[in-house]
Amino acid sequence: MPELPEVETVRMGLLPVMEGRVIVRAQVNRPDLRFPLPERMAEQLTGARVDRLRRRSKYILADLSTGETLLIHLGMSGRMLISGRMLGQFHHDHPAPQKHDHVVLDMEDGARVTFNDARRFGAMDLMPTAGAEAHKLLRDIGPEPLGNLFNEAYLAGRLKGRAMPVKAALLDQKIVAGLGNIYVSEALHRAGIDPRRLSGDLNTAEVARLVPVVREVLSEAIAAGGSSLRDYRQADGELGYFQHSFRVYDRESEPCPTPGCMGRIERIVQSGRSTYHCPICQR
């Protein structure tokens, strides 16, 4: 599933064609994705201007001139595809309709934004912009890891006394927003922390080291356009490139990249998910 850097990359790709633009025609081709789509969604979107395009955790939020906000979740295989507009040096003509084009938004300048989702694990919803943070998918999410509320004091307080592994704690969206399997594994390696350590056992210095490392990993991934492992593409169809910078993720049995470390990356399973770490330099 796309994590924070992938979703942020998609949002930034959509900004030039959506923010400040009117949706002149919306087409909804099925009644549901992971959840039922709002009734009359096409009618409600048609004629609305996108006043602001923002992100909360792994969700893209389009605040509309109608006082409503369109929530978009990419799920496992969802893609937001742009056509009919110059993107860099390339012009993407409108392609022929595809089987899994579930929602199509024609913008006022001729651009088209298509939500394509083969497995239909994605989601869309409409809600009042005022109080949008109270939506059932958003209300329990923790602070953004790139924001000021995610800091050493906050994280130390949330980890204190917890008996869950630190990796599981960082994956908990109620503790911190948007982190997933890839970037937690990468951050813990850079911080030199064993993913199996109990959260409550981390000392002050380790928490202080972890917070800036999380920011660093996410910022580098956003700059690289995210990580493309299976279905993920940027809004212009390009792959992300951060997978070429992985230090541990999906590198089982390869040498640890930490200078002077003689360890090799190991793969373990935590809560049904693969965790990659170095048993030598992560303690």
Task: Point out the residues that are catalytic.
Answer: 2-3, 58, 273
Do the Cβ atoms of 210 and 155 come closer than 8 Å? yes
| H helix or E strand, kind and range, residue 232 | none
User: For the packed helices 4-18 and 204-223, what is the interaxial angle rounded to 10 degrees?
Assistant: 40
DSSP string, 19-35: TT-BEEEEEE-SSBSSS
| Nearest alpha-carbon partner for 227 in 206, 212, 246, 209 | 246
CA pair distance 210, 219, nearest whole angstrom = 14
Strand order in the sheet with 123-128: 50-56, 59-64, 68-73, 123-128
